[in-house]
Structure 1
């Protein structure tokens, strides 16, 4: 089942194209990667796919809710809360999954939300399939490494039972083993039944992801035409 469909998606401002001509269709259980250099519009595109940022060209359709993982400057861990407190707070805010939605929500998310009073941390991490990452439940948000911030973002995103999860700059601040682990974690998350779209500078070899490149420097980025300055009124001789 297709969760998000973009056709010719673009965002153009007076300074030019932020991103343009993006075709992307992600179904349940699929991992998609948006790659490109810094400033290529990756973050804006991901936020648009999740319904958190505008677009003014093309068409966008999405089935069900979307959730944000780690997006720097937009959706980040609270520096004053521990990992366990982030998870407990999110579960309390979400409450139980309404019965009418249970068939549309991955089983792992339902189990995690039922188990929050017993062991919210273990249930949430297991539900996301990220049990091999040593994420300390007592660690504060301000002390998390870049990879740990990504992991917490993915765990929290999955708790709401969205159809789509997006995560930005998943390779930022990570060395090669960490990048390999992160892409493996994203593959496992997609295997839970989510459509996952992640942005990065590049995808590690062997990753089963559909890659969409934006901001190719070979493609010219024309600016919008500017309005001509108003003409100065002619002086009339006295």
Structure 2
């Protein structure tokens, strides 16, 4: 058995005036709550009110723009990477989807191997192969038990394809995959979507049992269950339609913009110098143009000086100004 196989300690989650802004406006604002370790937190609200983005921001996967938040004492956004290490995503459409072509066993083995490879200690990686395989099986069995997924009840046991799973079974598999890493914070989206009443009750019972075992749970839903800490994303007069993918792309663009600010400043300065040089030679160009075809006209400057401008050149300068 691994040295760190003890039950995970849940993470306290605190938010005060928390907000995230996208290209089309504020996705959510003024979110505030405090959740103790091992809490079941239901992020409630209609679709399009920033529920998923709030979930991703609180797990260190999106950068907030105002307010304050902490997860297990780690401030956001300064410690986003550290928050990601102690949190795990269950089902979040477009972010952590299951692969319908893979079987249940393939998903479980892949997640366990990745967990061992990237989060395991050097000592665990150097253990004999038999010990590593036994530890992997133990992690998988532990996660399956916590998620309430009995492979024996599936049509083809572990060889069942994800596409053949019922909605509640797929939810349990996603939760099991997340629990393989023994996170302190578990987050999932649309916890009650497309579930019959009995399945919805079973899903909330599952999440409550995980919270009771010590892991803090954040779950997006349309209606919070009784006994959960309810966090509401207030509707806006003009809801933003930014998706998590839009906001992630914006963060990458913002990082790139930060690295090129000096280049843009230099380019603007060079443009100003070029404009000054053009002004200095305008009189020479107009004087030369007085003998060319295309016609000329005379304008008076604010200083009272008469300036002769070739008509063709005026059109060209106007076109350049629009470019």
After TM superposition, the score normalised by the length of structure 2 is: 0.58
User: 1:68-217 alignment to 2 at 5 Å?
Assistant: 68-95=89-116, 98=121, 115-117=135-137, 121-126=140-145, 128-131=146-149, 134=153, 136-204=157-225, 207-216=226-235
Shift in alpha-carbon separation, 1:120–1:14, aligned structure 2, 3 A: closer
More helix by share: 2
Kept after mapping to 2: 8 A contact 1:87/1:124: no
Shift in alpha-carbon separation, 1:222–1:82, aligned structure 2, 3 A: closer
**Secondary structure, in 3 states, of the residue corresponding to 2:168?**
helix
Shift in alpha-carbon separation, 1:33–1:174, aligned structure 2, 3 A: same
Shift in alpha-carbon separation, 1:194–1:2, aligned structure 2, 3 A: closer
Q: Aligned partners of 2:150, 2:32: CA distance in 1, in Å?
A: 34
2:317 maps to none
2:33 maps to 24
Kept after mapping to 1: 8 A contact 2:15/2:31: yes
Q: Aligned partners of 1:116, 1:124: CA distance in 2, in Å?
A: 11
**Secondary structure, in 3 states, of the residue corresponding to 1:61?**
strand
Q: Aligned partners of 1:22, 1:209: CA distance in 2, in Å?
A: 17
Q: Aligned partners of 2:222, 2:239: CA distance in 1, in Å?
A: 23
Q: Could you report, residue by residue, the CA deviation over 1:101-126 in whole angstroms, capped at 9, with x for unpaired residues?
A: xxxxxxxxxxxx96434x66533211
2:66 maps to 57
Q: Aligned partners of 2:134, 2:107: CA distance in 1, in Å?
A: 16
Shift in alpha-carbon separation, 1:222–1:181, aligned structure 2, 3 A: closer
**Secondary structure, in 3 states, of the residue corresponding to 2:183?**
coil
Kept after mapping to 1: 8 A contact 2:11/2:37: yes
Q: Aligned partners of 1:61, 1:99: CA distance in 2, in Å?
A: 30
**Secondary structure, in 3 states, of the residue corresponding to 2:47?**
coil
Aligned length, in residue pairs: 208
**Secondary structure, in 3 states, of the residue corresponding to 1:155?**
helix
Kept after mapping to 1: 8 A contact 2:11/2:185: no
Matched, 1:44 2:65: no
Kept after mapping to 2: 8 A contact 1:115/1:123: no
Question: Which has the larger Rg?
Answer: 2
Q: Aligned partners of 1:15, 1:193: CA distance in 2, in Å?
A: 38
Q: CA RMSD in A?
A: 2.9
Q: Aligned partners of 1:141, 1:14: CA distance in 2, in Å?
A: 35
Q: Aligned partners of 1:87, 1:158: CA distance in 2, in Å?
A: 11
Q: Aligned partners of 2:174, 2:28: CA distance in 1, in Å?
A: 25
Kept after mapping to 1: 8 A contact 2:139/2:180: no
Structure 1 runs not aligned, ≥5 long: 101-112, 224-235
Kept after mapping to 2: 8 A contact 1:7/1:60: yes
Which structure has more relative contact order (CA 8 Å, sep 6+)? It is 1
| Per-residue deviation, 1:138 | 2.2
